[in-house]
Amino acid sequence: MMNSEEHKIPGIRLKNNKAQVNVWAPLAKEVVLLMGPSLELPLTRSGEGYWFLLSGELQEGDRYRFRIDNKEYPDPASLSQPGGVHGPSEIINLDSFQWTDTDWNNLPLQDYIIYELHVGTFTPAGTFEAIEDRLDYLLQLGITAIELMPVAQFPGQRNWGYDGVYPFAVQNSYGGANGLQHLVNACHEKGLAVILDVVYNHLGPEGAYLGAIAPYFTDKYHTPWGDAINFDDAWCDGVRDFFIANALMWFRDFHIDALRLDAVHAIKDMSPVHILKEIRIQVDDLMQHTGKNHYLVVESDLNDPRYINPLSKGGYGMDAQWVDEFHHALRVTASGEHYGYYSDFNGIAHLCKSYTDAYVYDGQYSEHRKRKFGARAIDNPGQQFIVFSQNHDQVGNRMLGERTSQLLSFEMQKLLAAAVIFSPYIPLLFMGEEWASTHPFQYFVDHSDPELAEAVRKGRREEFAAFHAQGEAPDPLSREVFDLSTLQWDQLEQEQHATMLHYYKTLLHLRKTHPVLKDLNRKHVQLACDEVKQTIQLCRWHHNESVWCLMNFSREVQTQSISNPSPLMTILDSASSQWKLGEDKSIKDRPGNNTNVFVLQPESFVLLGTRPFTIQL
């Protein structure tokens, strides 16, 4: 006999040679499981809109559907969709995988150095198994955590993952549930943490049967994707149970170390206990039971520290968040772009503010939004903020999907890398960035519905109508767009790409081994910005040791002086010959006899310290 909580675990779970079947369909009059041409197993109505069945007739590998009031659907909590989003669901046993990561218990959050990748385009094969072949490469690069873009089952074979419609099913073309478990286990054996991107703010437009089965959506709120997921309207308890169970599944059954929750600002919830807070509480309970540590990371553009403040201070208890505003300020500083949301950023002054305050807008007036925006994040440590110069959004949402390597000089790319990696925050790299990949990462989908496909094409054309001078927006349904977005690993054989890769390895080695750079104390940071010269002096310290990060974003040679009683020593100079494709223009020739006056080459970076520091890769 099931207890009251067991019947809230959605889908089919195999246990003690029996299948436990649960479906939340509160408005249904009948729910029947269909398997094969003749087997029909009716479910029994339980409380709060749940239907359940305990059967010994179902086995692993069986394909099934549900008939709900004379209409047939795949399982909304399916664990496997081998025939795609419209096909029958498959029974699999998540407990059958033989884990060997018993001694693994995550990394401290401050030790995360994140590498974001898209499973389908990270390798030519586009599978979890193929990623395993590249894990040693990532370790040698200096990565400590990989972040997978969403893997929930989506339509077709090509998608960013944000059009997923089966939150519990792992994309079959990537290798399914077993493939993901095997990848996570392999990562843990090598000391790599795994972050998984999940989407709790919307479902994709094709194959999303949840709304037909139960009140998973509400018209109380408008979102960019239509009606909002129902987290606070009538019948919301079943919806909340569904997504909480999903978060717990990734941690419990897949040993995922952290979830990155996509666009939480689009989650509409006015409940006394916000859904994010409830997820936090449930994850804390799981961690207490298993003894394993898991993190919750959010993407939010609200600049609201309530999301990352602990429960004890009235927050939602998220462990960290992406900081888009650091990226925007850095991008404007480097390129001068001022269109769209970049118009709110003045460049280097805002970049300096983000180095100390994380949020650029924390209460002042935003011209782009036409209102005061944000609140200060005062007591939040550096490891609660994740920064980057590129990610899937900031690259792929450009009309042509250009990477920084296609937009900025080789020297500026090196400067951006140092600006991110030596910040007092957690750095994130986007796949291929480390070798200055010159292939774009464009938006792609693989919808089977012709009308939907044409609507997507039209939407992209209209979105970028003002950019007609750049040509027409690429067709997101085109196989060529997908292939062009796939990493070309043979580029590493070319000098400029090999040089950039070695440079990134050196930066990450310093970030991991230097006592000042690995410490993420936001209060141990001082900035000096010169808006005329376009330079930044970033000083960081830990105990009795300090480093100075000198950044020159201008195209002119700049001279910088540092007030320090003893001579400073060069640890790394991006203009030195080992990082350049041309002549050596490092700071070895200093003006006059003043040892703490430095000449910075255009678009360059210098790391200085109070003592010598040997780099041993």
How many residues would you count in the chain?
Answer: 617
Q: Give the Cα separation of 608 and 606 in Å (integer).
A: 6
- Which residues contribute to the annotated binding site? 260-265, 324-328, 392-397
Strands 604-609 and 545-552: what pairing? antiparallel
Q: Alpha-carbon distance 509 to 380, whole Å?
A: 26
- Cα 311 to Cα 571: distance, rounded to the nearest angstrom: 41
With CA atoms as reference, report the closest residue to 292 among 254, 321, 252, 259.
252
Rounded-to-integer distance, Cα 128 and Cα 171, Å: 10
Crossing angle of helices 348-357 and 324-335, in 10° steps, is 150
- 185-196 burial, b if ≥16 CB within 10 A, otherwise e? bbbbeeebbbbb
Round to whole Å and give the CA distance between 366 and 344: 7
Annotated binding site for substrate: 260-265, 324-328, 392-397
d(CA 241, CA 466): 43
Strands 166-170 and 152-153: antiparallel
- Type of residue numbered 397: N
Cβ atoms < 10 Å from Cβ of 100: 11
CA angle 456, 323, 426 (to 5 degrees): 120
Strand-strand pairing, 525-530 and 535-542? antiparallel
Q: Longest Cα pair distance anywhere in the chain, in angstroms?
A: 92
Q: How many angstroms separate the CA atoms of 199 and 134, rounded?
A: 26
* Token pair for 521: 């104390």
Report strand pairing: 18-24 vs 295-298: unpaired
Give the H or E element holding residue 296.
strand 295-298
Residue type, 614: T
The residue with tokens 């041993």 is: 616
- For 346, list phi and psi in degrees, rounded to 5: -95, 5
CA–CA gap between residue 552 and residue 596 (Å, rounded): 16
Alpha carbon distances (Å) from 356 to 223, 305, 539: 33, 15, 11
Phi, psi of 368 (to 5 degrees): -65, -40
Q: Tell me the catalytic residues.
A: 262, 299
- Asked if residue 294 lies in contact with residue 106, where contact means CB atoms within 8 angstroms, the answer is yes
Distances (CA, A) of 404 to 115, 156, 494: 16, 29, 18
Q: What is the dihedral of CA 433, 439, 440, 445, to 10 degrees?
A: -110
